[in-house]
Amino acid sequence: METKDMMMTSMLTMDKEENEGDRDKGKDEMVGEEEGTQRENGRLMLADGLAERGPKSLTSGSGQQVSNGFTTSTPQSPREGPGTAASSGGTASVPGGGTGSTVPMGGLRTLVVQQTSLERPRETWSKKMDFLLSVIGYAVDLGNVWRFPYICYQNGGGAFLLPYLLMAVFGGVPLFYMELALGQFHRSGCISIWKHICPIFKGIGFAICIIALYIAFYYNTIMAWALYYLLSSFRPTLPWTTCTNSWNTANCNRYMSSDHNVSWSNSSTSPAEEFYTRQVLQVHLSPGLHQLGSVSWQLALCLLFIFTIVYFSIWKGVKMSGKVVWVTATFPYLVLLVLLIRGATLPGAWRGVVFYLKPDWEKLLSTTVWIDAAAQIFFSLGPGFGVLLAFASYNPFHNNCYKDALLTSSVNCLTSFLSGFVIFTVLGYMAEMRQQDVDAVAKDAGPSLLFIIYAEAIANMPAATFFAIIFFLMIIMLGLDSTFAGLEGVITAMLDEFPHILVKRREWFVFGLVCVCYLGALSTLTYGGAFVVKLFEEYATGPAVITVVLLEVIAVSWFYGTNRFCNDIQVMLGFYPGFFWKVCWVAICPCFLLFIIISFLAFPPEVRLFDYHYPPWTTVLGYCIGVSSFICVPAYMVYHLLNARGTFKQRLLKSITPEPSSDNHRDFIVTNAV
């Protein structure tokens, strides 16, 4: 700081002596001097001969500079100090604060301050559409296809849309908007961003990274199943349509209306079910979680292929993955449209649509419906996984993240609604063929809905091979861009936290991360791997990530301060968030998240898969997996307080005081004074 003060004083003295006789010159001459500034070979050459390091441009006119190094024409927030000009006879404050940051101007009229940065320029999206497609691809995943339709018909059909929309407006979308704004303003991943918000909560970032790893351990296995189905679809007769294969049992029966000689009993199984359970999963070879069995080499190869695609899509950064999502995020919509048209032309399709949307208003009186609506919109939009922070951090500073949040969250909700028609037109067709009620056909949720019921329906359509290929391609695409996003959240967080070690070694770090994810997923590739997938899905991610997001909202709204956060948004976007958003961030969103957490603890899910009921010890194991990620939050709080200096009160005060973004590798130098 002493060096900075001496530099400022000497430069002010020099300029004052040189311009003693020119004090009364007009504004035009001053502008002419500013226009004399020129760039040469990455160095800023000033008209008075002073050279300044750094790529940032000189501020002029109405432009101001904010704490993270970007120029803005909007009013500064109170914490960022005044702009770049001071009136005659006043004082000019140099952003960054500290000793000597206020310089008496005397008769000087203008002080031009240049902010320089020694940081490596941050990567940005090649196009705005790359960012939007990446966010849409992340938000629209497999849960939109299998979970929303099932939850909707189970909770009152069309009546469920009311609690779903209310939870989206007051809970999901505000959280979505908050994360995009935070990431874009602070330009940091989910770990390093906390030193600019509330340092003691930095453990949230580490917890998010562990949760992302748990998701990668099981989520990609579902894509490996879909890839197995895809490769099996390149046959004239799909293998899950007949009972004459080596994996079929004596209980295998086709029970479509065309098979008049088939007698169906309670012990009978369909060929699609036996293909899924006995050939793909081979779950019959494992008695349960206590004995998983060997690794299936077919699934191991399928998963290796999936992770190879993932690696070469994200190893170079968002410029590479932003191009890949043009395929992975748009192709599913094309397939959904084709399947919707095909499903609408099938006999009995109307039965499925009526069953899907027929409102049962009495169910709105049940607490379960509101719990399901809150959980569905939360996991569908996906705040709290570090992905939105990472993606937004690569945006231009003045990008309108408000419109982005409204657009992408609306697309996500509409996709879920559209997927319901795609699924239930086919379920209505299955009910017509089997001469059963739709609820008897739609009793399965989760992957079984796709890999058994929908696969069997496709097998009984004309041109079954074509529809099977595009359907399972769609499943893989839906999973891939969500995986890109999840791992990018971890990569961005680690690169921002350890830039000197990892930035120049990104390819090797990504390779190591993908290898860790593959090795962690081996347990899901065993004969009992489906049991592990279900355990991770129920316990490892749900309660932990909701609790983490609750702490995130509290840290931003109550510690960092809603007013300060809204000022940051005003600096970026040029307008102040409305009263609705402030109320949501301060009160409604915490209540929304607390409601989900309490309901989960009060009504723990009964976990079962096929005929296997999870024993009590698996519940303890599941909670231990969930706590293993969340424990990072209190552990880091203790670590931070123990390593801080001063009295306990001083430590506590420092731990909740955000550090200005300008403190890191940034400098402010007076370059020209008139």
Q: What is d(CA 389, CA 489) in angstroms, rounded to the nearest whole number?
A: 8
State the pLDDT at residue 595: 87
Tokens of 529: 């791997």
Q: How confident is the model at residue 264 (pLDDT cuts 50, 70, 90)?
A: low
* Mean pLDDT computed over 356-362: 83
Mean pLDDT of 352-359: 85
* For residue 14, pLDDT beyond 90: no
Specify whether the CB–CB gap between 130 and 323 falls below 8 A: yes
Taking only the tens place, the pLDDT of each residue in 499-530 is: 889 888 899 999 999 999 999 999 999 999 99
Tokens of 620: 């303890």
More confident residue, 156 or 79: 156
565-611 pLDDT, tens digit per residue, is 999 999 999 999 999 999 999 999 999 899 888 888 777 777 888 88
Mean pLDDT of 489-494: 94
Predicted pLDDT at 60: 37
Percent residues over pLDDT 90 in the chain: 39
Of the candidates 566, 495, 661, the residue with the CA atom closest to the CA atom of residue 70: 661
Structure tokens at 580: 């609705």
CA atoms within 13 A on the CB side of 403: 9
- Characterise 282 by phi-psi region: left (phi > 0), alpha (psi -120 to 50), beta (else): left
Q: Is 403 exposed, middle or buried (0-12, 13-18, 19+ CB in 10 A)?
A: exposed
Say if residue 415's pLDDT is above 70.
yes
When pLDDT is cut at 50, 70 and 90, the band that residue 3 belongs to is: very low
* pLDDT(235) > 80: yes
Which amino acids are annotated as binding site for Na(+), given as ranges? 137, 139-140, 144, 380, 412, 478, 481-482
- State the pLDDT at residue 638: 93
CA distance 640 to 655: 7
**CATH placement of domain 128-249+269-656:** 1.20.1740
Q: Which helix (H) or strand (E) holds 672?
A: strand 666-673
Residue type, 142: L
pLDDT of residue 265: 63
DSSP states of 586-654 as a string?
Answer: IIIHHHHHHHHHHHHHHS----EETTEEPPHHHHHHHHHHHHHHHTHHHHHHHHHHHHS-S-HHHHHHH
Domain boundaries, the chain: 128-249+269-656
How far apart CA 280 and CA 311 sit, in angstroms, is 25
Instruction: Give the alpha-carbon dihedral of 665, 668, 672, 674, to 10 degrees.
Output: 170
The CA distance from 427 to 425, in Å, is 6
Q: Supply the mean pLDDT for the chain.
A: 79
Percent of the chain residues topping a pLDDT of 70: 78
136 Cβ contact partners less than 8 Å away, ≥ 6 residues apart: 329, 408, 411, 412
| Binding site residue list | 137, 139-140, 144, 380, 412, 478, 481-482
The per-residue pLDDT for 410 is 93
**Cα–Cα distance measured from residue 619 to residue 603, given in angstroms and rounded to the nearest whole number:** 13
Residue predicted with more confidence, 221 or 60: 221
Residue 54 pLDDT exceeds 50: no
Per-residue pLDDT, 146: 81
Quote the pLDDT of residue 263: 60
Please report, for residues 53, 103, 112, the alpha-carbon distance to residue 3 in angstroms, rounded to integers and kept in the order given.
16, 15, 19
Nearest to 478 by CA among 319, 327, 313: 327
78-127 per-position pLDDT tens digit: 334 333 333 334 444 443 344 444 444 444 554 444 444 445 678 888 88
pLDDT of residue 393: 93
Count CA atoms closer than 13 A to 452's CA, side-chain side. Answer: 21
Most trustworthy range by pLDDT among 64-68, 81-85, 98-102, 362-366: 362-366
Q: Is 10 within 8 Å of 100 (Cβ atoms)?
A: no
d(Cα 503, Cα 159) in Å, to the nearest integer?
50
Helices (H) and strands (E) in the chain, counts: 29, 11
